[in-house]
Chains A and B, each alone.
Chain A
């Protein structure tokens, strides 16, 4: 591996050094650095002891800088191509075919024939096309393929046409294995090359930046938060490994690599949720998280396999996308695959009905929740759908429709999760359900065709939800490690001003109020449903728009409840709360700042007059791939001021309602947190609803008691029973019956023998299992007689027959 990469260095040094392409080609360093940190911590962690966090902070920081630099290079390339394009606009079309040989990266091979926009395994599904091509990746070979995607940007009339830079793919042949079918090489069977590599485009860089920033801040924050923990070193080791895995997954060029990264983050999540494994609830939560994700992984594996064959035996993501866009892949394959992959999304990204692990995952340390269970890992499902979007686009039949499974699951989750957040009293659980709800938003966005909106919400959500989680950590740090907002908090706004301010900002962003980040991203999703008159998106998902609006209102409501109970009213705890140290508050401030600012990355073009023309929709331009060979042309809804106003009014109204509810309660009793004679106690229906919510729709009972309990209990016991009493019984019966036959023969020869029978019955009564001991009575004479008799009979038979 390293050999080929040093080869790249040499090659890069030989020619004129171009920083951006160097960055694009060596993006693998970003996950490699935290991975190295993991190894170092594993090997030497004990020596660093309490300073081990510096290792993690340094590597993740370096990775962040690298990612930011690459993102900068990407943006500058984009911007320069716009000018380039406007100069050469006469040509109308630019297709760049970068010869790999010229780049000095590839092995010999004639690419003059042109390179179709595919991924690493060029020769795989284009066997006929490239029958004479010598283009093959030898083991360990490395090649750079730059894509020639059509520059077609939006389809909207009057919008500026944008030239999108092509993704830069570097890959490395991981291994080759025999093909499928029973053909030989001569009969046209080919061996399959499995490759790993890095893909640099807007989407992957976006994830890299998000992960880099949040992970860096969490590393810093944790150095105070988990200080003196019993397993400080392990904590940082897994934090590093997690960062490396998610970055590895983000850069995946093949679905196989995606699966690897996907599973690795799952394991890190398992280890970190169960960080304090001495207590059983923590390890239970870790197990639940892992197993629920495994259920989804069935879908992932099967879906990826279907795609593999659908795309003509390739794991390469761009090849698969190309097959989906060009229609090479059958509709059945795409539908089956997208439904299977939806299961994976449901588990990893906490979608209804597989979301139940996510709230339980809060058993882990709070910074872990911020990093893994809010900002990064749980969005892996969203990211995966985004990566394979053409498959979903076709498989789910997204454009021009008004309903599909993906959008429905998202909508259900966003409303269902939001409702559950109302009845929690643990602040982390509130945030967890809020995360579930917001992830539902993203899935909804993907389901209705608003790709950019989903990615943008992923981007902004990471910051404000990260901020909220770290804020919750700060609160618990102050309040004796408790997260109970009813019994341990209240009136903290004066005691913890920084935490309060940042928490407020992040909550406003979450609630989607102008001008915070959430406003912009949420608005885009609502626009993207196309349900609102005049938005003109990919379809008309009216029902889903309504559900989205309901969820928006709920978000504001439950966050108001949480904020009131935490920061207003009287303090109800037993310790002296104090503001957290700077190491913890500075990350909070940075994230809060990002929660405000990031929203402006993608404000609509028709807002703020000329500013919108010039600086609007930057996120879309940078991140969204251009329509072309590997990506569909996606419509973008026109932003609508009225929709934004309606959504905001709903949110504000809900917040005001909740606020007044608690204000009246406060007026009645300063330390009360709920009405003793509330609606739930007066109305039977309301009470039933409350119980229904408190029991989390009874899903946990179904899973834990009925499904898992059933399998582990009766079903497994039955399997074991069958093993012992049926299969083994058959075996034992064969033993017993042959012994019985033997005994019969023995008695026949030896009628008068009482002794043997006594012997036999004695042994058989006591040693039922030891079947074969029965004939072993130890009497030499009996053996000899039997032997002679048997031999004689055998001889007689032999003589008579032969």
Chain B
């Protein structure tokens, strides 16, 4: 067993998550992709924790999970709000930042 195989798996998941974030139009799907990214990070944390025999890796992974829960909660709330106001959750249309 190599440390690297876990890290590469995590990298793959991470990149897929990034791809999802970049290409998905649906707000909920974007949120899911973000979850994927967070999971990739968690794998890294736990792998390094195990590798170094340090409990901190797990602890941080747990924190990330908690934060992810919070993030999904707020994110979904925002998506709902956008939906209610614009009858669409197409993030491509959310171009309010246009100067």
Chain A interface residues (CB < 8 Å from chain B): 772-773, 776-781, 784-785, 788
B residues near A773, Cβ cutoff 8 Å? 99
Query: For residue A778, which residues in chain B have a CB less than 8 angstroms away from its CB?
Result: 95-99
B94 in the interface (beta carbon within 8 A): yes
Known: A776-B98, A777-B98. 19 other contacts (CB 8 A): A772-B99, A776-B97, A776-B99, A777-B95, A778-B96, A778-B97, A778-B99, A779-B92, A779-B95, A779-B98, A780-B91, A780-B95, A780-B97, A781-B22, A781-B92, A784-B21, A784-B22, A788-B18, A788-B22
Chain A contacts for B96, CB-based, 8 A: 778
User: Within 8 Å CB of B98, what residues of A?
Assistant: 776-779
Task: Please give the distance in Å from A78's CB to the nearest CB on chain B.
Answer: 84
- Nearest CB of chain B from residue A703's CB, rounded to whole Å: 51
A785→B22 contact, CB < 8 A: yes
> What residues on A are CB-neighbors of B99 within 8 Å?
772-773, 776, 778
Note all chain A residues with C-beta closer than 8 A to B18: 788
Contact digits for B24-63, partner A, Cβ 8 Å, 1 yes 0 no:
0000000000000000000000000000000000000000
In the bound complex, how far is the Cα of B42 from the Cα of A56, in angstroms? 92
The residue of chain A having its C-beta at the shortest distance from the C-beta of B22 within the complex is A785
5 contacts between A and B (CB under 8 A): A778-B98, A779-B95, A779-B98, A781-B22, A784-B21
Q: How far is the CA of A645 from the CA of B3 in the complex (A)?
A: 125
Which residue from chain A places its CB closest to the CB of B18 in the assembled complex? A788
Indicate the size class of the contact surface on chain B: 10 to 19
Chain A to chain B: the 10 pairs with minimum beta-carbon distance, closest first: A778-B98, A776-B99, A778-B95, A773-B99, A778-B97, A785-B22, A779-B95, A784-B22, A777-B98, A781-B22
Q: How far is the CB of A425 from chain B (nearest CB, A)?
A: 67
Contacts of A777 in B (CB 8 A): 95, 98
Q: Count contacts between A and B, CB distance < 8 Å.
A: 27
Whole-angstrom distance between the Cβ of B73 and the nearest chain A Cβ: 21
Contacts of A772 in B (CB 8 A): 99
Which parts of B55-99 form the interface with A (CB within 8 Å)?
A: 91-92, 94-99
| Docked complex Cα distance between A273 and B21 (Å) | 77
B-side contacts of A776, CB under 8 Å: 97-99
Chain B residue with the shortest CB-CB distance to A778: B98
A778 to B97, CA, bound (A): 5
Docked pose: A788 CA to B94 CA in angstroms: 19
Nearest chain A CB to B29 CB, angstrom units: 13
| B22: A residues at CB distance < 8 A | 781, 784-785, 788
Contact partners of B21 in chain A: CB under 8 A: 784
- CB–CB A781/B97 < 8 A: no
Closest to A783 in B: B97
CA distance in complex: A303, B94 (Å): 70
Complex alpha-carbon distance, A779 and B97, angstroms: 7
Q: Give the complex CA separation of A781 and B97 in angstroms.
A: 11
Residue from B22, B95, B99 having most chain A Cβ neighbours under 10 A? B99
Distance in angstroms between the alpha carbons of A772 and B95 in the assembled complex = 17
CB distance from B15 to the nearest CB of A (A): 10
Q: How far is the CA of A202 from the CA of B18 in the complex (A)?
A: 96
- Nearest-Cβ distance from residue B13 to partner chain A, whole angstroms: 16
> How far is A761 from B12 in the complex, measured between Cα atoms in Å?
37
Q: A779 to B98, alpha carbons, bound, how many Å?
A: 7
- The complex places the Cα of A788 from the Cα of B92 at a distance, in Å, of 17
- CB contacts (< 8 Å) of B91 on chain A: these are 780-781
Q: Closest residue of chain A to B96, judged by CB?
A: A778
Which residues of the partner chain B approach A779 to less than 8 Å between Cβ atoms?
92, 95, 98
A784 contact set on B, CB distance < 8 A: 21-22
**B95 neighbours in A (Cβ, 8 Å):** 777-780
- A607 → B minimal CB distance (Å): 92
Question: Separation in Å of the A751 CB from the closest CB of chain B?
Answer: 16
B92 proximity list for chain A (CB < 8 A)? 779, 781
**Shortest beta-carbon distance from B34 to chain A in Å:** 12
| Closest partner residue, chain B, to A785 (CB atom) | B22
Residues of B within 8 A of A785 (CB): 22
**Cβ-closest chain A residue relative to B94:** A780
Please measure, in the bound complex, the distance between the C-alpha atom of A778 and the C-alpha atom of B92, giving whole angstroms: 10
A779 to B22, CA, bound (A): 11
Residues of chain A lying within 8 A (CB to CB) of residue B94: 780
Report how far A683 CA is from B17 CA in the complex, Å.
103
Chain B residue with minimal CB distance to A784? B22
Distance in angstroms from A752 CB to nearest chain B CB is 13
A777 and B96 CA atoms in complex are apart in Å by: 9
Report chain B residues within 8 Å CB of A788. Answer: 18, 22
- B99, closest chain A residue (CB): A776
CA distance A785 to B96 in the complex (A): 17
In the assembly, what is the distance between CA of A772 and CA of B97, in Å? 14
Which residue of chain B lies nearest to A774 when distances are taken between CB atoms in the complex? B99
Question: Which residue in chain B gives the minimum CB-CB distance to A788?
Answer: B18
Q: Looking at the assembled complex, report how far the CB atom of B16 sits from the nearest CB atom of chain A, in whole angstroms.
A: 13
What residue of chain A has the Cβ atom nearest to residue B98's Cβ?
Answer: A778
CA distance A134 to B91 in the complex (A): 85
Which residues of the other chain, B, contact A780 by a CB distance below 8 angstroms?
A: 91, 94-95, 97
Indicate the member of A773, A780, A784, A785 with the most B CB atoms within 10 Å: A780
Docked Cα-Cα span, A354 to B99, in Å, equals 58
Nearest A-chain residue to B97, judged by Cβ: A778
Q: How far is the CB of A787 from chain B (nearest CB, A)?
A: 10
How near does chain B come to A137, taking the closest CB pair, in angstroms?
A: 64
B80 to chain A, nearest CB (A): 18
Q: A777 vs B18: C-alpha distance in the bound complex, in angstroms? A: 21
B59 to chain A, nearest CB (A): 27
Max chain A Cβ within 10 angstroms of own Cβ: one of B18, B91, B95, B96:
B95
Give complex CA distance A776, B98 in Å: 6
- A108 to B95 Cα, complex, angstroms: 82
Nearest neighbor of A773 in chain B, beta-carbon distance: B99
A319 CA to B9 CA, complexed, in Å: 93
Residue numbers in A under 8 Å from B97 (CB-CB)? 776, 778, 780
Docked pose: A781 CA to B91 CA in angstroms: 8
- A668 smallest CB distance to B (angstroms): 85
Q: How far is the CA of A784 from the CA of B95 in the complex (A)?
A: 13
Closest CB in chain A relative to B26 CB, distance in Å: 13
Q: Smallest Cβ distance from A546 to chain B, in angstroms?
A: 80
Q: Which A-chain residue is minimally distant from B23 (CB atoms)?
A: A781
The answer for the CA separation of A772 and B99 in the assembled complex, in Å, is 9
> In the complex, what distance in Å separates the CA atom of A773 from the CA atom of B94?
18
A424 to B58 alpha-carbon distance, docked (Å): 105
Q: How far is the CB of A24 from chain B (nearest CB, A)?
A: 75
Complex Cα distance, B18 from A780, in Å, reads 14
Min CB distance B18 to A, Å, is 6
A780 to B96 CA separation, bound complex (whole angstroms): 9
| Cβ contacts under 8 Å, A781 to chain B | 22, 91-92
What is the bound-complex CA distance between A779 and B92, given in angstroms?
7
Q: A759's closest neighbor in chain B, by CB? A: B98
CA–CA, A778 and B96, complex, Å: 6
User: CA–CA, A779 to B21, complex, Å?
Assistant: 13
Task: Say how far B43's CB is from chain A's closest CB, in angstroms.
Answer: 20
In the complex the two chains form, what is the Cα distance from A780 to B21 in whole Å? 11
CA distance A777 to B22 in the complex (A): 16
- Write the chain B residue with the least CB distance to A772: B99
Q: How far is the CA of A773 from the CA of B97 in the complex (A)?
A: 11
In the bound assembly, the distance between CA atoms of A773 and B92 in angstroms comes to 19
A780 CA / B23 CA spacing, docked (Å): 11
Query: Smallest CB–CB gap between A776 and chain B, Å?
Result: 4
State A777–B95 Cα separation when bound (angstroms).
Answer: 8
Cβ distance B75 to chain A, nearest Cβ, rounded Å: 14
Cα of A196 to Cα of B13 in the assembled complex, Å: 85
* Nearest CB of A to B12, in Å: 15
Q: Which residue of B lies closest to A776 (CB)?
A: B99
Give the shortest distance, in Å, between A200 (CB) and chain B (any CB). Answer: 73
Q: How far apart are the CA atoms of A295 and B92 in the complex, in Å?
A: 66
What is the CB-to-nearest-CB distance from A763 to chain B, in angstroms, rounded to a whole number?
9
